[in-house]
Amino acid sequence: MLVSAEVAALHAMKSVWQVLPHCHPIPITAADVSFDVRADRIVVTTNVEATYKTGVEMEALYGATVALLTVWDMVKSLEKDSKGQYPSARIEDVRVVEKAKSQRP
């Protein structure tokens, strides 16, 4: 399941400009996704790098969110109640933890 979520996140990072109207294609030089599986949650961390005149926050945020949506889609049958609802599952606290400008040579 996490491999599928990783692939979905990486694909999302590369295609964010096709989904969000004010984004444009950015030449991403590196990207990775990591998962911290805990007893009550899965924490997704994405890192995106680019040598470009703009940041890559949207690519990282979109990648993390798509990874979480993929996990949800794959496990939703485990939580769905008799009314078809998801009483506990949620996606929360998607945020930029750190942004750093690289030093150009």
The whole-number pLDDT of residue 34 equals 98
pTM value is: 0.90
Residues serving a catalytic function are 73
Can you name the CATH fold of 2-79? Alpha-Beta Plaits (3.30.70)
Indicate the average pLDDT of the chain: 92
Does residue 105 carry a pLDDT above 60?
Answer: no
Amino acid identity of residue 9, one-letter, is A
Q: Report the pLDDT averaged over residues 15-26.
A: 93
| Token pair of 35 as six digits | 């998962």
The whole-number pLDDT of residue 32 equals 97
Q: Report the pLDDT averaged over residues 79-84.
A: 91
The span from the CA of 9 to the CA of 75, in Å, is 17
Per domain, the residue ranges of the chain are 2-79
The span from the CA of 67 to the CA of 69, in Å, is 5
The span from the CA of 66 to the CA of 62, in Å, is 6
Q: How far is CA 79 from the centre of its chain?
A: 22
pLDDT digits (tens, 9 = 90+) for 22-48: 998 999 999 999 999 999 999 999 999
Contact predicate 48/66, CB 8 Å: no
